[in-house]
Amino acid sequence: MTDTYPPISDQLDDLESAQEEGRRKMEWAAQHMPILEVVREEFVDDQPFEGERIAMAMHVEAKTAILVETLADGGAEVAVTGCNPLSTHDDVSAALDTHENITCYAKRGVDDEEYYAAIEAVIAHEPTITVDDGMDLVAAIHEDYPELIDGIVGGAEETTTGVHRLRAMDDDGALEYPVFAVNDTPMKRLFDNVHGTGESSLASIAMTTNLSWAGKNVVVAGFGYCGKGVARKATGQNANVIVTEVEPRRALEAHMEGYDVMPMSEAAEVGDVFLTTTGNRDVIVEEHFERMQDGVLLANAGHFDIEIDLEALDGLAVDRYEARDGVEAYEMADGRRLNVIAEGRLVNLAAPVSLGHPVEVMDQSFGIQAVCVRELVESAEPRSANASGDEPRASDEYGPGVHDVPDDLDKEIAEIKLAAEGVEFDSLTDTQREYMGSWDHGT
Ligand code: NAI
């Protein structure tokens, strides 16, 4: 394995001003991340990650950078790259790379070859822990560097698609170290996927197009956590929301929430804006493009850029041009223009103006990431006990496979946040606790 792909500092021309701007963005984010502030203070004092090497593939922007620094300040050597070619902020990447414990390879706009070369460069640091958003590191290690697996304590996965892929891998018996499904915790999913995706996707589309939501027919594909957030926030902007689904209970839920529910083939004819949030592929395809009105906006908030079939759209187009920064117009033979935002990549991160989720939301998600990494290290064999690397370091408590994040870790983060917000809440009395745990108090 060779570490030939250069860190961002060796790739930028005006490095100093990039570092300065990146640091400015990070300072703003840090001011609004009280959870990571508390966790970082604990890590600085305890140095839980001394001797650990953490590999990360995440959206490298200001909020993620605070997580990366928090882990590095806890004593880890951290190597980090992007998890999407369009979501990296080069200035933040450059600022991170100045930390003595951090090497950052993320660069915006890399092609496929460079993207995977950066992943390999991160893996070349021979990680003992992986932190993923979309499972690219876990996949690359299992496929190409299985010899590293015994030295890996475990991993943490940020997003729904990553957790889906990991569970599929686990079902096939192919996942060889423990990974926490950070995405599935209430503190992540009920806030990040719902509020974060809802607010930031709509904001990114509005900023990219300079168009209003009011009175528009907004088609939301998928009524999962992200779709619910998008639908609710679009309603709040006075749009008329139409939901498409494949899961009967979710379709019914959308109906009972008061949204119009219909197949995509019908929605295609009436929608003004289409936003996919399914984590699935081929959600909007040729037959739908053929029915759409002139001027529609097409965007995706799901993890991969496969929800809108751009190849088919390109096949139908007689012309294609950049209508605005971040908007590609595909002109059909009959003159209709279908506008794709951010190349069909997740719109809240990949459009030129996108900033990702609000800071407060990511503070919660990354707070969970941080305590999950701490949990993995605390539960694993110490590095010194296994210096030869012959024995797996992962503990019996968390054997190979996907693991739910322990509830007390999730509650720990909620309590830090509530304290930071100055919100007090009740706790169970002893009698209530006993009652809730009993079965013999009938009528
Ligand atoms: P979820 O599993 O809660 O929801 C997905 C929904 O899509 C389900 O209800 C499913 O039945 C539906 N669906 C699947 N195929 C469909 C089809 N062909 N047509 C209509 N509906 C379909 O997942 P969640 O948490 O909402 O995540 C969705 C995607 O968003 C994932 O790829 C996830 O990784 C990504 N994500 C993106 C974020 C962002 O910042 N943009 C943040 C968090 C998650």
Q: Map out the domains of the chain as residue ranges.
A: 8-188+357-421, 194-350
Q: Nearest 5°: phi and psi at 343?
A: 55, 25
> Rounded distance, CA 155 to CA 183, Å?
13
Pairwise CA distance, residues 354 & 207, whole Å: 8
The per-residue pLDDT for 186 is 95
Ligand 1 atom 43 nearest Cα:
193
pLDDT in tens, the chain (443 residues): 545 899 999 999 999 999 999 999 999 999 999 999 999 999 999 999 999 999 999 999 999 999 999 999 999 999 999 999 888 999 999 999 999 999 999 999 999 999 999 999 999 999 999 999 999 999 999 999 999 999 999 999 999 999 999 999 999 999 999 999 999 999 999 999 999 999 999 999 999 999 999 999 999 999 999 999 999 999 999 999 999 999 999 999 999 999 999 999 999 999 999 999 999 999 999 999 999 999 999 999 999 999 999 999 999 999 999 999 999 999 999 999 999 999 999 999 999 999 999 999 999 999 999 999 999 999 987 766 554 555 778 777 899 999 999 999 999 999 999 999 999 999 999 999 999 999 887 77
**What is the distance between the alpha carbons of residues 146 and 400, in angstroms, rounded to a whole number?**
14
> CA 186 to CA 422: how far, in whole Å?
20
How confident is the model at residue 384, as a pLDDT?
A: 60
Q: Whose CA is nearest to atom 19 of ligand 1?
A: 245
Q: What is the largest CA-CA distance in the chain?
A: 75
Location of structure tokens 């839920």: 253
What pLDDT is recorded for position 396? Answer: 75
Ligand 1: centre distance to CA 59 (Å): 18
Predicted local confidence at residue 3, as pLDDT: 52
For the CA of 226, the nearest atom of ligand 1: 26
DSSP letter, residue 378: H
- 8-188+357-421 against 194-350: fold identical: yes
Could you tell me if the CB of 229 is within 6 A of ligand 1? no
pLDDT of residue 385: 57
Residue 56 one-letter amino acid: M
> Nearest CA to 15 among 125, 95, 130, 133?
95
- Cβ of residue 242 lying under 6 Å from some atom of ligand 1: no
Strands 337-341 and 327-331: antiparallel
Q: Which atom, in ligand 1's list, is nearest to the CA of 348?
A: 41
User: How many whole angstroms from 227 Cα to the centroid of ligand 1?
Assistant: 7
Superfamily of domain 8-188+357-421: Adenosylhomocysteinase-like (3.40.50.1480)
Question: Shortest CA distance to 164 belongs to which of 281, 246, 310?
Answer: 281
Rounded Cα distance, 174 and 153, in Å: 16
CA distance 307 to 281: 4
32-35 — which CB contacts under 8 Å span 24+ positions? 32/359, 32/360, 32/363, 33/63, 33/66, 33/359, 33/360, 33/362, 33/363, 33/366, 34/363, 34/416, 34/417, 34/420, 35/363, 35/364, 35/366, 35/367, 35/413, 35/416, 35/417, 35/420
* Cα 280 to ligand 1 centre (Å): 7
Q: Which CATH class is domain 194-350?
A: alpha beta
- Work out whether strand 240-244 and strand 129-132 pair parallel, antiparallel, or are unpaired: unpaired
Ligand 1 atom closest to 227 (CA): 26
Collapsed DSSP state (helix, strand, coil) of residue 330: strand
